[in-house]
């Protein structure tokens, strides 16, 4: 069957449908695979069907499916394992766990990390938080604070807001019990995968409270990194404002 036809019209394409007819076919296949991930058809850490199975399902060539999967793997949404197949990326994987964290030691040596949860409570979204998370002002949010240390030195102070309805049941006690990466907890307990993020960065001076928690002098320079993280379907599910101590670190990014 020709790959020039549109595929799988039985399933709505959502936002992708507006440009589906004008997208390369592999991009349409990519959109359909993303829909399956969004619906939870394949969970984080699980394998997806083979290229041949997906080609039969969508009535396209194996090469078209392979190109779609190649893009999803390049975006760290899928992981290829030689001789085993293709798996849904999970933040339990070392290569995925810190992909949103761009702070790099000046000597490039990996540093053991630890996380200290300071607080977690429910609150009402301000105008700013509501706009960032696609909520209405006054909607419920979960607000948590934590310190991330490297080699037992406090380095990042995070202030995090999450949609309250999406993260019902997230409590301080649950966070303190969990020993893995926070994003992995969001995957397993709430079905939320963080798949991309937008950031803006500025230099600020440490306040009294920030200086105390990060063990620096009041007024010391900090790097403020404000991040909005998105799940499938480009839905914002986290607003994070981090304050970074960069005396022994630099912020590294790759520009294409």
pLDDT of residue 111: 85
Termini Cα distance of the chain: 36
Residues 127 and 216 in one domain: yes
pTM of the predicted protein model: 0.82
Same domain, 201 and 108: yes
pLDDT per residue as tens, the chain (256 positions): 444 344 443 343 334 444 445 789 999 999 999 999 999 899 999 999 999 999 999 999 999 999 999 999 998 899 999 889 999 998 887 666 667 888 889 988 888 889 999 999 999 999 999 999 999 999 999 999 999 999 999 999 999 999 999 999 999 999 999 988 899 999 999 999 999 999 999 999 999 999 999 999 999 999 999 999 999 989 999 999 999 999 999 998 877 6
For residue 141, the SS3 value is strand
pLDDT of residue 94: 65
Report yes or no: 182 and 101 within 8 Å, Cβ to Cβ.
Answer: no
In whole angstroms, give the CA distance from residue 15 to residue 19: 8
The verdict on 174 and 144 lying in the same domain is yes
Q: Considering only CA atoms, which of 143, 125, 145, 144 is closest in space to residue 135? A: 125
Does 124 lie in the same domain as 71? Answer: no
Evaluate whether residue 228 is within a structural domain: yes
Same domain, 239 and 194: yes
Assign residue 67 the CATH number of its domain: 1.10.10.10
Same-domain check for residues 27 and 123: no
Q: Are residues 118 and 234 in the same domain?
A: yes
Burial 166-205 (b: 16+ CB within 10 A, else e): bbeebeeeebeeeeebbbbbbbbeeebbbbeeeeeeeeee
Please state at what angle helix 51-58 crosses helix 62-74, rounded to 10 degrees: 120
């Amino acid at each position: 069957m020709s790959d020039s036809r549109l595929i799988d019209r039985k399933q709505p394409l959502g936002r992708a449908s507006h440009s589906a007819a004008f997208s390369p076919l592999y991009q349409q296949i990519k959109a359909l695979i993303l829909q399956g991930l969004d619906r939870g058809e394949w969970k984080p850490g699980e394998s997806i069907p083979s290229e041949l199975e997906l080609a039969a399902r969508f009535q396209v060539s194996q090469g078209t499916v392979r190109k779609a999967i190649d893009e999803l793997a390049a975006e760290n949404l899928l992981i290829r394992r030689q001789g085993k197949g293709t798996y849904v990326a999970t933040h339990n994987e070392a290569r995925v766990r810190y992909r949103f964290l761009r702070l790099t030691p000046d000597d490039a040596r990996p540093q053991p990390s630890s996380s200290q949860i300071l607080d977690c409570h429910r609150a009402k979204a301000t105008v700013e938080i509501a706009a960032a998370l696609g909520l209405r002002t006054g909607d419920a949010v979960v607000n948590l604070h934590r310190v991330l240390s490297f080699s037992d030195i406090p380095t990042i102070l995070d202030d995090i807001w999450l949609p309250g309805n999406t993260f019902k049941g997230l409590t301080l006690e649950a966070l303190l019990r969990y020993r893995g990466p926070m994003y992995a907890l969001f995957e397993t307990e709430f079905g939320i995968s963080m798949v991309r993020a937008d950031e803006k960065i500025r230099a600020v001076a440490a306040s009294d409270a920030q200086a105390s928690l990060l063990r620096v002098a009041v007024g010391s320079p900090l790097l403020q990194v404000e991040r909005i993280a998105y799940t499938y379907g480009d839905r914002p599910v986290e607003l994070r404002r981090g304050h970074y101590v960069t005396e022994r670190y630099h912020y590294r990014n790759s520009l294409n």
